[in-house]
Amino acid sequence: MARRADEILTVACLFAGSTTTSTAAVKRLTGTTVSNHNVSTLLADLTRRDDCTDALHTLILLAGHLDAHGAPIDYARRRALFTTRSHFLDLRAWGDLQRRLRSNIRPGAAHAQRWIFQALTGSPPRLAHPDVAPATALQRQHYRRFRWRILPAEAELLRHTAQSLLDEHHVDEPLQWTPQLPSRVLDRLVFPGPDPDSITATELHQAVPVGDFSIAQLARTLKTTTAHVIYLLSQHPADWSPPRFQQTQHTATRVHQWRTWYEQDTCPCRPSPTGNRPVRPPSVSHC
């Protein structure tokens, strides 16, 4: 149940200030598969814990904020568009990038497909098409590890691919979005865990060692919990690749920008044409 807390709390947010039933919230509004028992059990556990009072209060604040301001993403539409899709990624492009970035065993493209599905729909990968969804407990465990060990250039490729899919369907929305509750309200609340923003992306990246690393050791270095570090790495991928791969990592994150400049004929390295004199287009290596 703890692994599905994000789904359960999403359902619980729909209860605040409304008469929505748990069945409607689970099946119709969020499309998840958690049970009524899962939801009621987690909420009962939070209610019994003195250090979770403000966590429940935050659900009410969030529900009120969304009622008042709405959200720029229509996840119901996205689930309708992408839940039955069996393929999200150019496997050749992913494989080429992996060979340039990693010296260790490369994670399979299946995890990359799951990442894109989750980013697009907000749903866990198990709700995806059977060709995408993890079928075993080991696959689910490896996918969770993939999310926090992803390299910056890999994350950039996946974000670019997901945004391109939205563009293909004429969905004019940000890929992902986080509501911003007023800081004056949150400052007075006390939560059982660490503040996610108490460690900056810069501090995180400075603490990540080069090459393979232990998430537990990194948490000790940053004086926080492993769950906090996993969240931070998922939000701010760090370049932990070996030194001889670091420059490739740096270059790969810029490939999409170079391609855009080239295709739109706006590369800053290219001189402006004068008269009818032909201008030789720059290569990506020139940029």
pLDDT one-digit tens code per residue, 17-47: 888 888 888 877 887 888 888 888 888 988 8
Q: What is the mean pLDDT of the chain?
A: 84
pTM of the prediction? 0.80
d(CA 164, CA 175) in angstroms, rounded, equals: 10
Residue 138 confidence (pLDDT): 92
For 231-262, b/e burial (b = at least 16 CB within 10 A) is bbbbebbbbbbeeebeebbeebbebbebeebb
CA–CA distance, 244 with 200 (Å, rounded to integer): 26
pLDDT at 24: 84
Positions in the chain short of pLDDT 70: 1-2, 103-107, 243-287
Identify whether the C-beta of residue 260 lies closer than 8 Å to the C-beta of residue 284.
no
Residue 4 burial (C-beta neighbours within 10 Å; 0-12, 13-18, 19+) = middle
pLDDT given for residue 246 in this prediction:
59
Q: What is the pLDDT of residue 1?
A: 64
Name the one residue in this structure whose structure tokens are 């080429």. 96
The pLDDT assigned to 285 comes to: 39
Q: DSSP secondary-structure letter at 283?
A: P
Residue type, 73: I
Looking at residue 36, what is its pLDDT? 84
**For the chain, what is the largest distance between any 2 Cα atoms, rounded to a whole number of angstroms?**
77
SS3 266: coil
pLDDT at 282: 43
